[in-house]
Amino acid sequence: MARMKFYCDAERCIECNACVTACKNEHEIPVGVNRRRVVTIKDGEPGERSLSVACMHCSDAPCAAVCPVDCFEITDEGIVLHNKDTCIGCGYCFYACPFGAPQFPTDGAFSSRGKMDKCTFCAGGPEEEDMSPAEYTKYGSNRIAEGKLPLCAEMCSTKALLAGDANMVADVYRDRVINRGAAAFSQTRLQQKANFQPNPSLSGRATGVDGVQQWKPDASN
């Protein structure tokens, strides 16, 4: 059975927030709850990077490990779901999650914390009937049951956000890294050729090694 995973390619993310908007619209998420958000590192500085962050559906989910009422359920596809009927809103999962995925809606600044909400990988919730009105009300749409991928990944214009079978996602990213490495190597070679300046004080000849000019002095020098 394939395990479903997310991956965000920081080299491609342009901070357009299309994934955030798609998630909110697809599941009609209330104001103040962000199942997915875009985080920017070194904003406005050299080396700036953006990442789309949500529940990463960990294989060994720490949120499930600390939940005192066992409201979490991990499906055969590796999707981490939670039961809102069982959740007591204690917040343990929030402190355990390294991605800050659990969200807790409140009615006001000083109101009590509500039931936890998080990304479901567009797989609904642990309801007996898929795509039922009750499931949609609690967890949003169930695109996985329809044979579709999460809408956030499908709406990503640069394909920075990948979702699906973990092995296929890894293959796509591996190909990207290899292609980037080959392109960077070629660019370095071209730059070396463009910057080559032989020393006029030396007598000799320019020779090419692997497409890069090098200066070889005469035997008399």
Contact (CB, 8 A) for 78 and 166: yes
Specify the pLDDT at position 182: 72
Helix (H) or strand (E) holding 40: strand 37-41
Q: Concatenated DSSP letters for 152-203?
A: HHHT-TT--EEEEEHHHHHHHHHHHHHHHHHHHHHHHHHHHHHH----TTS-
Share of the chain above pLDDT 90, in %: 62
**Alpha-carbon distances, residue 84 vs 70, 114, 124, 127 (angstroms):** 11, 10, 12, 10
Contact (CB, 8 A) for 13 and 51: yes
pTM (2 d.p.): 0.76
Specify the pLDDT at position 85: 92
Residue 137, pLDDT above cutoff 60: yes
Domain ranges of the chain: 4-167
Banded model confidence at residue 195, pLDDT cuts 50, 70, 90? confident
Specify the pLDDT at position 211: 47
Q: Which residues of 83-97 are buried (b: 16+ CB within 10 A; e: fewer)?
A: bbeebebbebbbeeb
User: Architecture of 4-167 per CATH?
Assistant: 2-Layer Sandwich (3.30)
Specify the pLDDT at position 200: 58
Specify the pLDDT at position 32: 82
Residue 213, pLDDT above cutoff 90: no
Banded model confidence at residue 114, pLDDT cuts 50, 70, 90? confident
